[in-house]
Amino acid sequence: MEELTTMSTKELDRAAVMARLSEHSLSQRAAAEMLQLTVRQVRRLQRAYAVQGAAALASKRRGRPSNRKLAADVRARVLALVKERYADFGPTLACEAARAA
């Protein structure tokens, strides 16, 4: 049974370009210009596309939290401090006041 892959519009556009590339109706250089990538990146995508199909073009990070995401306890502490010190401020003013302090 095949697994469904969620893809963004950008990834679907990449898949269409990669399909044309595999049919030899498009050069690597033209594909690179269309996708605004380097020829080297297009070659890498082409190899992955040949092995895994369109699923190779989907983001592997989808559904995972960002590497830059704060830990839940740190975020809660920061929000508590902002609410305590800058209760009547909006988010922009609170940010500016916290930077100035």
CB 18 within 8 A of CB 46: yes
Six-digit token pair at 72? 């839940």
Kindly tell me if the per-residue pLDDT of 12 is higher than 70.
yes
Contact indicator for 15, 7 with CB cutoff of 8 Å: yes
Distance separating the N- and C-terminal Cα atoms of the chain: 58
Radius of gyration of the chain (CA): 22
Give the tens place of pLDDT for each residue, 51-81: 999 989 998 888 899 999 999 999 999 889 8
Contact 57, 45 (CB under 8 A): yes
- Looking at the domain assignment, is residue 23 inside a domain? yes
- Domain for residue 3, yes or no? no
Q: Is residue 63 part of a domain?
A: no
Residue ranges making up the domain that contains 17:
9-57
Whether the model clears a pTM of 0.85, i.e. scores above it, the answer is no
Co-location of 44 and 23 in the same domain: yes
How many domains does the chain fold into?
A: 2
